[in-house]
Amino acid sequence: MSETTLHQLCQIYTELTFDEIKVLEDVASTLQLYADLNNAYMFIDCMMKDSDQAIVVAEAFPRTSEAIYENSVVGKIVFESFEPGVFYSYRTGKKSLTNQAVTQEGKTVEQSVIPIKNNKHQVIAVLISEEEIYKHMPISSSYKNVSFGQEELKEVLGGHSREVPLVSDLLMEIFLLTDKEDRLTYSNPAGVNFISEMTQLDKIQNQNILELLPFLQSIYDFKEDVFVFDLTVDRKNLIVKKIRVKEKEQLKGTLLIIQDVTELRTKEKELMMKSVVIQEIHHRVKNNLQTVASLLRLQMRKGFPEESKVYFEDTLNRIYSISSVYELILSNSNADDEDVNIIELTKKVSSTLVLNEYLKKVNLIIESNGNKILTTSRKAVSIALIINELVQNSLKHAFPEDVEGDIIVSFYSNKDFLELHIFDNGVGMQEPKSSLGLEIVHNLVLNDLNGEFRYVPVEQGTHAVVTFPISSEVIIYHEKENINS
């Protein structure tokens, strides 16, 4: 694969910068090695500018096996309907694994897609590995890609739809046609494989479908012309769609579309189990944190030197900030939803701090500025701790004795970054002497959020700013309203 082609294609069709193209060139230079190593077809796809489609910019074919791609596909456009894994990985920044993808070229492959990111953790391209899977299938190879009865199908479906046999050959669904005596006159390759597996018969063409697949009897008996049925046969979960084709009220034939959803149903069950287990883990994390907090409170009641009190309180607040994240996850209406709403989290963490300092006359204002921010629990824990430290500092240090004032927590975002501002109109910061609190903030911002923490000079009070990149773990929706509290 020539790197010049990659460079030219990226320059013409994408919005990638020079440095980003360089990243892709580095990846592309190793493609052949991985293609040979895994006996897989490797590609790099990039999103095209002003378009919802992607373009192939690099490829490598294994030199050891029969080619499934006869010609180079570099420069070809990729459509979402054919390669959803590519677009999924692009949008979410996550790995996609598709057991059976039918490529634009009509090949059945096992496809793995991983995102390639720039130094700001934004997805700039995806790396695809494709392996043909017919060779792994247990079904006799003589059934491969065989279908019969194209002429009958065309005849029943109106004669001129020449694409139908081709389309049905590409379908993963089983596509069968029986005539008015219920004899099997057409089957696509998936159907041939399915019936051969169920019946162990070689000759199925023109056989009575109800002798081949007796479980269809009730579906054929049913009077409706169009009918969808959920069936379980031989531990297989099937969705059967029946369409009677008639001409002038006379039955011409019956079209059956059968979807084998066994794997899907198993995965659904596994997912359901997984989300129950994850919910349970969140519960336990929350309960364990509450136990730790109770133990600390117990210790505090047992008496200790007055000067230690502040350390216990700080620690309790930190534990409370983390447990707030789990409380919010558990309050999500959808059990699978693990996202944390950062505005809600900010309200929860900072209003508790202000309530605890009931002697202080401080107004807390939280401004979302139209941002609805959702993050993973990992990022949310860091953000909760950062907000805890900075709001706590304003409460503790900005308003000594009876001084009244405001603490404003405000969120701003642009395409790439989220900014968290914490202002107070208190006494302002003297010579900064960083202690554990600010050290925690510095560390979390830098290491967990890949961001930056600074103080902005102001005439009165203190103004802290945390900036970090928006990534697949930090999603922002724009709303109109401000949330004040």
Which residue ranges make up the site for ligand ATP (CB under 6 A)? 314, 389, 393-394, 396-398, 424, 426-427, 429, 432-438, 462
Per the CB < 8 A criterion, the answer to whether 401 and 413 are in contact is no
C-alpha to C-alpha distance for 104 and 108, rounded to whole angstroms: 10
Binding positions for Mg ion, 359-418, rule CB under 5 A: 393
What is the Cα Rg of the chain in Å? 31
Q: Minimum CB separation from ligand ATP for residue 280, in Å?
A: 34
Q: Minimum CB separation from ligand ATP for residue 323, in Å?
A: 19
Pairing of strands 362-367, 417-424: unpaired
Comparing CB distances to ligand ATP, the nearer of 244 and 396 is 396
Q: Minimum CB separation from ligand ATP for residue 353, in Å?
A: 12
Token pair 């030197």 is found at: 305
Q: Minimum CB separation from Mg ion for residue 393, in Å?
A: 4
Q: Minimum CB separation from Mg ion for residue 397, in Å?
A: 7
Q: Minimum CB separation from ligand ATP for residue 473, in Å?
A: 26
Residue nearest to ligand ATP (CB): 437
Comparing CB distances to ligand ATP, the nearer of 297 and 309 is 309
Alpha carbon distances (Å) from 264 to 80, 189, 241, 373 = 21, 21, 17, 32
Comparing CB distances to ligand ATP, the nearer of 158 and 400 is 400
Q: Minimum CB separation from ligand ATP for residue 351, in Å?
A: 18
Q: Which stretch binds Mg ion (CB under 5 A): 134-142, 186-194, 339-347, 436-444?
A: 436-444
Per the CB < 8 A criterion, the answer to whether 175 and 199 are in contact is no
C-alpha to C-alpha distance for 362 and 342, rounded to whole angstroms: 22
Q: Minimum CB separation from Mg ion for residue 436, in Å?
A: 7
C-alpha to C-alpha distance for 212 and 200, rounded to whole angstroms: 10
- DSSP secondary structure of 132-197: E-GGG--S-GGGTT--B-HHHHHHHTTS--THHHHHHHH-SSEEEEEETT-BEEEE-HHHHHHHHH
DSSP state of 148: B
CA trace torsion 208, 210, 214, 219 (10° rounding)? 160
Comparing CB distances to ligand ATP, the nearer of 46 and 391 is 391
Token pair 């992607």 is found at: 54
Q: Minimum CB separation from Mg ion for residue 119, in Å?
A: 32
Q: Which stretch binds Mg ion (CB under 5 A): 232-240, 301-309, 339-347, 435-443?
A: 435-443
Residue 95 binding: pick among ligand ATP, Mg ion, none (C-beta 5-8 Å cut-off by kind): none
Residue 341 binding: pick among ligand ATP, Mg ion, none (C-beta 5-8 Å cut-off by kind): none
Q: Which stretch binds Mg ion (CB under 5 A): 133-141, 240-248, 318-326, 430-438?
A: 430-438
For 295, other C-beta atoms within 10 Å of its C-beta total 10
Residue 476 binding: pick among Mg ion, ligand ATP, none (C-beta 5-8 Å cut-off by kind): none
Interaction between residue 426 and Mg ion (CB under 5 A) = no
C-alpha to C-alpha distance for 156 and 115, rounded to whole angstroms: 45
Comparing CB distances to ligand ATP, the nearer of 301 and 433 is 433
Interface residue with Mg ion among 115, 437, 451, 461 (CB under 5 A) is 437
Comparing CB distances to ligand ATP, the nearer of 107 and 442 is 442
Residue type, 2: S
Residue 329 binding: pick among Mg ion, ligand ATP, none (C-beta 5-8 Å cut-off by kind): none
Closest of 395, 391, 442 to residue 421, by C-alpha: 391
Tokens of 250: 């006379």
Q: Which stretch binds Mg ion (CB under 5 A): 155-163, 215-223, 414-422, 429-437?
A: 429-437
Residue nearest to Mg ion (CB): 437
C-alpha to C-alpha distance for 171 and 260, rounded to whole angstroms: 12
177 in helix, strand or coil? strand
C-alpha to C-alpha distance for 477 and 66, rounded to whole angstroms: 48
C-alpha to C-alpha distance for 423 and 407, rounded to whole angstroms: 6
The residues binding Mg ion (CB under 5 A) are 393, 437
